[in-house]
Amino acid sequence: MKHILIKWLFMTIAVLAAAYFIEGIRVAGFPSALFAAAALGILNAVFRPILIILTLPINILSLGLFTFVINALMLKIAAAIIPGFDVDGFWPAILGSLLISIVGWLLNALIRETPDSTRPPRRGSRQDDSDVIDLDKKDGGRWE
C-alpha cells in the first residue's frame, strides 16, 4: 500500500512538472494534480491496455510511436473529468504525456521495489540450501 501511495505522489509531481514546463497544461493546485494523477493511474490501468491492443496494427506500422497518441488521449480524458486540470490541444497533450512519462519513470527508478526479508518465501523458492540434499550419480548408476 505504501508503494502505491509513493507512486501516486510521484505521478502528482510529474503532473505538476508538466503544468510548469508546458504551455497549454494548467493545474489549479495540488489537489487537482493529485486527482489528475489518480485519474491517469486508473485510466492507464484500465483503458490503456485495451487501446494498445486495438491499435496494435497502427502501433506496429509506426514503430511504436502511436503509443504517444494513446498516452496523449489518456491525458486529455483525465483533463476532461478532473476540474482544475486543463490540457489545451493535441501537441500540449503529446508533450505533457511524454514529460509525465519521463518524470514518472525517473522518480520510480529511485524507489525500485526491494525484496522484503520479512516476507515468507514464495512457493517453489528456497531461501537457503540447509534442507537440500545434493546427490551425485556414481559408477554403476548409484546415487550417493
Q: What does the pLDDT average to over 107-134?
A: 62
* pLDDT above 70: residue 70: yes
Q: State the average pLDDT over residues 78-103.
A: 93
Please state, in angstroms and rounded to a whole number, the distance separating the CA atoms of residues 96 and 81. Answer: 17
pLDDT tens string 47-59: 999 999 999 999 9
Type of residue found at 129: D
Q: Is the pTM above the cut of 0.85?
A: no
**96 close to 72: Cβ distance less than 8 angstroms:** yes
Segments in 22-141 forming alpha helices (H): 30-54, 56-61, 66-81, 90-110
